[in-house]
Structure 1
Amino acid sequence: MKGQRKQFGTRYLNDELEVFKYNAWDNVEWKFEQEEEARNQIANQKKSPVASQEAEYLLQNPAEQWDTFYRTHRSKFFMDRNWLLTEFPELNVECRKSDDPLYVLDVGCGAGNATIPLLQASEQSGKMFVYACDYSLQAMDILKQDTVQWSDRCKPFVWDITGQITEIVPVGSLDIVLCIYVLSAIPPEKQQQTVDNLASLLKPGGVLLLKDYAQFDMTQLRFKKNRLIDENFYRRGDGTLVYFFSQDELDRLFTEAGLEKEINVLDRRLIVNRAKRVKMYRMWVQCKYVKSALL
C-alpha cells in the first residue's frame, strides 16, 4: 500500500536539529541521562503506591472495570488497528500460497479493533477464520453485533484467558494467536498460565504474535501518586490494569510455554507534536514465537 509504514519503521533521527521535521522517528536510542531520569520517576512512584485494599479489589474484579469501560466507550475509544498487516505480514491471507484457511485467535479482542480490520482485509479470499475472545461481556455484546455480516468467519466468545482452557477453540488448531496489548492487562502472577493456555491452542508450526508496552514507555513514566500496584504494574484512572514488560520477561514466558523465539524486538519511537514542540518517547515490545513443528 502506497505510503504505508514499513515493518518496524525506517525513519531515523541522525541530526537532533531536525527532530521537529516529522511527526515520528523510529529506533530512537536514549541517552544515559534519560534512562536515569526514568528510573528516578519510577522510584518516586514507589513512594506512593495504591492502597493494598484497593489493589486487592482491582485484582479480583478486572472484568468489572473493562465492562464499565466498554459500556461507556463502546467501540469508539481505540482506533482500528489497520497497521496489523504491516507489522505482522503473517496475517495477510491474500498473499498466502495455500488455499487452506488461516485460523486466528484475537485475544483480548475488546470491541473488535483488530478483529474487524482482519475480517475486512481477508474479504476477497475469505481464507481467514477469526476466533475473538475477551472477558468483558459488554465488549462481546458489541462485537457480536458488529460482526454479523462475517458470522461464517468469526466466532466471538467470552473467555478469561487466565483460567481454564476454553472449549470453544480446539487444542492444537490455531495458525496464529494474536496478542495486542493484552498480556499487559494480566497480573504478573497469572501471566505464565495465560501464555501456557494460549500456546496449547497453537498447532505445530503455529505462531504467537505480540505487541505490548515496554518498560520506560512514556505512559509508564507519566503515572503519578497512587497508581503503582507492584513492580512495573499499575492501575489506570479508570481502574483497568497495565504492566510494562522487558524483552527478557516475555522471552521467559514464551519459552516456558514451549515456544521458540523468532522475533523479540524493542520498538522505540519518538512521537513529535510539532505545533507544541513536545517530544514523546514510546516503547513497545514486538514478538513472534513459534510452536515447534516437531511436537
Structure 2
Amino acid sequence: MDGFHPAGTHAAVCGKRQQFGSRFLSDPARVFHHNAWDSVEWSEEQAAAAERKVQENSTQRVCQEKQVDYEINANKYWNDFYKIHENGFFKDRHWLFTEFPELAPSQNQNHLKDLLSENKGSEVPVCRSSEDGSGLIIEEQHSCSSVSLGHKTQPPPVEENVTQKLRHLEICADEFPGSSATYRILEVGCGVGNTVFPILQTNNDPRLFVYCCDFSSTAVELVQTNSAYDPSRCFAFVHDLCDEDKSYPVPGDSLDVIILIFVLSAIIPDKMQKAINRLSRLLKPGGMMLLRDYGRYDMAQLRFKKGQCLSENFYVRGDGTRVYFFTQDELDTLFTTAGLEKVQNLVDRRLQVNRGKQLTMYRVWIQCKYRKPLLSSTS
C-alpha cells in the first residue's frame, strides 16, 4: 500500500534521518513517557484499519452545489478562519531551520564557489542586480541531472516559453521589491507569518529578502501589522495560488527558495499541477522548492466523518476550509512534471501523545525538496 514503510526499512533506503529527531519508541510500555516519538512503525493491521476508515468516510460525498460554494468562496472561509483565530492558532515554526537549512543562506556561502566552478558556462542567464550572482546558493547540492534521478524534465511549450521570457524582461526593466537582494525566499500560503518571522529574526543577512503571500487578505493584513514586519526586508501580498491570470511580483528565474508549508493541500487537486508549474518558473536554476504537508492516512484524515469528503482523499472541515492528503508518488509527479529534480521526498511518521488524557495520535507528514536543474533543458 502506497505510503506505508516500516521505519527501519525506510531509514535503510534513504539513510538515517537525524532531522526528524532521535526519540524512538522501543518499549511500548513507555509510550506516555514523552509527548512525541519519531519514525513510528505501522503494523499491517494498523495500515489496513486506516485504509478501511478512509474508505468508510469517503462513501458519502458533499453535494455538487456545496462543492462549488467551497471553491468559489474559498477566500471567504479562510478570511473567517483568520478573523476568529488571528495569530493565536499556529506556533512559530522554528523547526524549519533544522529541516530546511536552505532558509539560512549565510551558512551556504561556501557552496557557491564550488557550484559555479563545477558548472561554469552552463548556467542560464538570470536577471540579477548583484554582481556576484550569489543566487545559486543551495544546500545539499547534487551534480546529477534529472535523467540520472530517473525523472524527465518537461519544458513548457515554445509559445509559453516566449511569453514567459517577455514577461520576465518587462519586470526586469523595472525595479521590483527586493530587486537588490542576492538571496530571495518566497513563502506561498504564509498565514499570519509563523514561517516568515522566524526566518527574518534568525537570518540577519542584509542580502536576504523574503516575499510572502496568502489567499486570505485578513492573514496578509495581520502579517503587515505585526511589529516584526520590516518592509525593507519583506514584502507581503495577497495572491491566489490558483489564479492563472495574476502574476507574482517578481520576474522568472529570480527566487532561490520557494516554501510551501501545509498550503498545497488546501487547494483543489485539479489545480495543483498548474500552480506548481507557475512557481517553478520563478526559481533560479539551482533554486529549491521546499514542501511539508499532510500525508495519506494522517490522523486528521481518519477523523473525518461521513459527508465531509469532496473527492478521493480531499475533505472539507467544519469551518469550510479544505484539505488533501498526499502520497509521496503524487508529490513527486507534481514536482517532476514541473521540471524539477528530486533532492528529498520523505515520510515523517510520528506518534504524538496526550499524557494527561492518555491518548495516542498518529501523524503522517511528507517533506520534500525539489530543485530546478542548473542546465537548461533547451541548452
Q: Answer yes or no: same fold by TM over 0.5.
A: yes
Once the two structures are superposed, the pairs formed by residues 154-165 of structure 1 within 5 Å of their partners are 154-164=234-244
Query: Does the residue aligned with 2:331 lie in a helix, a strand or coil?
Result: helix
> Is the CA contact 1:132–1:156 (under 8 Å) kept in the aligned structure 2?
yes
Once the two structures are superposed, the pairs formed by residues 1-295 of structure 1 within 5 Å of their partners are 7-97=19-109, 100=134, 101-123=182-204, 125-146=205-226, 149-164=229-244, 166-295=247-376
> Is the CA contact 1:116–1:147 (under 8 Å) kept in the aligned structure 2?
no
- Code of the residue aligned with 2:230 in structure 1: it is W
CA distance in structure 1 between the partners assigned to 2:63 and 2:341 by the alignment = 39
Q: How many residues align?
A: 290
Please identify, of 26-35 and 204-213, the stretch whose mean Cα deviation from structure 2 is larger: 26-35
The alpha-carbon deviation at position 6 of structure 1 amounts to 5.0
> 1:66-104: per-residue Cα shift (whole Å, max 9, x none)?
111112221211111111101111112342326854200
The alpha-carbon deviation at position 161 of structure 1 amounts to 1.4
- Code of the residue aligned with 1:168 in structure 2: it is P
The alpha-carbon deviation at position 47 of structure 1 amounts to 2.5
> Is the CA contact 1:6–1:86 (under 8 Å) kept in the aligned structure 2?
no
Gaps of 5+ in 1: none
The alpha-carbon deviation at position 26 of structure 1 amounts to 0.7
- Structure whose CA Rg is larger: 2
Query: Does the residue aligned with 2:260 lie in a helix, a strand or coil?
Result: strand
The alpha-carbon deviation at position 250 of structure 1 amounts to 0.1
CA distance in structure 1 between the partners assigned to 2:352 and 2:51 by the alignment = 21
TM-score by length of 2: 0.74
> Is the CA contact 2:197–2:228 (under 8 Å) kept in the aligned structure 1?
no
Give runs of ≥4 in structure 1 deviating > 6 Å. none
CA distance in structure 2 between the partners assigned to 1:148 and 1:275 by the alignment = 35
Query: Does the residue aligned with 1:97 lie in a helix, a strand or coil?
Result: helix
CA distance in structure 2 between the partners assigned to 1:146 and 1:207 by the alignment = 28
Q: 1:193 to 1:147 in 2, by over 3 A?
A: farther
The alpha-carbon deviation at position 203 of structure 1 amounts to 0.4
CA distance in structure 1 between the partners assigned to 2:18 and 2:232 by the alignment = 32
TM-score by length of 1: 0.94
CA distance in structure 2 between the partners assigned to 1:33 and 1:45 by the alignment = 18
- Code of the residue aligned with 2:188 in structure 1: it is V
CA distance in structure 2 between the partners assigned to 1:90 and 1:177 by the alignment = 10
The alpha-carbon deviation at position 148 of structure 1 amounts to 6.6
Q: 1:167 to 1:92 in 2, by over 3 A?
A: closer
> Is the CA contact 1:103–1:173 (under 8 Å) kept in the aligned structure 2?
yes
Q: 1:149 to 1:58 in 2, by over 3 A?
A: closer
CA distance in structure 1 between the partners assigned to 2:271 and 2:36 by the alignment = 35
> Is the CA contact 1:93–1:127 (under 8 Å) kept in the aligned structure 2?
no
> 1:1-40: per-residue Cα shift (whole Å, max 9, x none)?
xxxx951222212222222222111111111111111111
CA distance in structure 1 between the partners assigned to 2:73 and 2:283 by the alignment = 29
CA distance in structure 2 between the partners assigned to 1:37 and 1:96 by the alignment = 44
CA distance in structure 2 between the partners assigned to 1:277 and 1:152 by the alignment = 48
Higher strand share: 1
> Is the CA contact 1:38–1:216 (under 8 Å) kept in the aligned structure 2?
yes
CA distance in structure 2 between the partners assigned to 1:8 and 1:148 by the alignment = 28
Query: Does the residue aligned with 2:225 lie in a helix, a strand or coil?
Result: helix
- Code of the residue aligned with 1:141 in structure 2: it is E
Query: Does the residue aligned with 2:223 lie in a helix, a strand or coil?
Result: helix
